[in-house]
Amino acid sequence: MSTKVKLMQAIKIWVVIYPSITLFNILFGSYLVNFPLFLKTLALTLVLVPWMVFAGLPFINWVQQKMSKNEKP
């Protein structure tokens, strides 16, 4: 896998994970405030890993495909 492909993959993951973590913390942070860090991390990953795999990244890939089709003459 080329460096350019890896960089694009990293950017796509970041585009999904950053707002997802932020939204998760806004919605559930107050409920998890008294939990130990490992349980907060467990809750975060239990929700966000499936979100990334089954919804977030497929959506970003779909958007990228639509944009690349529009660039071609």
pLDDT digits (tens, 9 = 90+) for 8-37: 999 999 999 999 999 999 999 999 999 999
Structure token pair of residue 22 = 């932020």
Q: What percent of the chain has pLDDT above 90?
A: 89
pLDDT bracket for residue 73 (50, 70, 90)? low
pTM reported for the whole predicted model: 0.82
What's the domain count of the chain? 1
Query: Which residues form the domain of 64?
Result: 3-71
pLDDT at 69: 86
Residue 40 CA to chain centroid, in angstroms? 17
**Mean pLDDT value across the chain:** 93
Write out the two tokens for 16: 């999904």
Under 8 Å between Cβ of 17 and 60:
no
